Amino acid sequence: MRHTRSQGQRRRRAPRRGFTLVEVIVAIVVLSIGVLGLAGTASYVTMQMYGGREQTIAANMAMKVIDSLAARRCTDIVGGTQTRRGVTATWTVGDSLRTRWVTQTVQYRPKRGPMKTANYTAVIQCPELFP
């Protein structure tokens, strides 16, 4: 006797393994958005690193000017301007009783964007003016 199945008793299929086409497409879209986000961030970080390099060059120039002025006698400390590697430092000297106040303005142009300005102030003591 042959066993027949009724309409309610259908044969169960074994579950298939793997991914559907929709799941693969969704995964590709999500991955693409992530990669595009990383690419945009990488270019921004590169610009910031280059800007930091230029700012470091400007700060080093300001330090060299102050060191040069501090090595002089107080009567020889005067204002001036100096330009190197695309960075311009301008400084003025203010007299005090036993010190000289040096105010610097350093200007540099980043790779992109407008001219940037940094201001520095230093106090140089004058031991030869002590009574």
On whether residue 10 sits in a domain, the answer given is: no
pLDDT (tens digit per residue) in 26-78:
999 999 999 998 888 888 887 777 777 888 888 999 999 999 999 998 889 99
Where in the sequence is the domain holding 71, given as residue range(s)? 21-129
On whether residue 4 sits in a domain, the answer given is: no
On whether residue 86 sits in a domain, the answer given is: yes
Token output for 101: 């106040």
Number of domains in the chain: 1
Residue 93 phi, psi dihedral angles, 5° rounding: -120, 130
pLDDT surpassing 70 at residue 8:
no
On whether residue 78 sits in a domain, the answer given is: yes
pTM of the predicted model, to two decimals? 0.60
On whether residue 8 sits in a domain, the answer given is: no
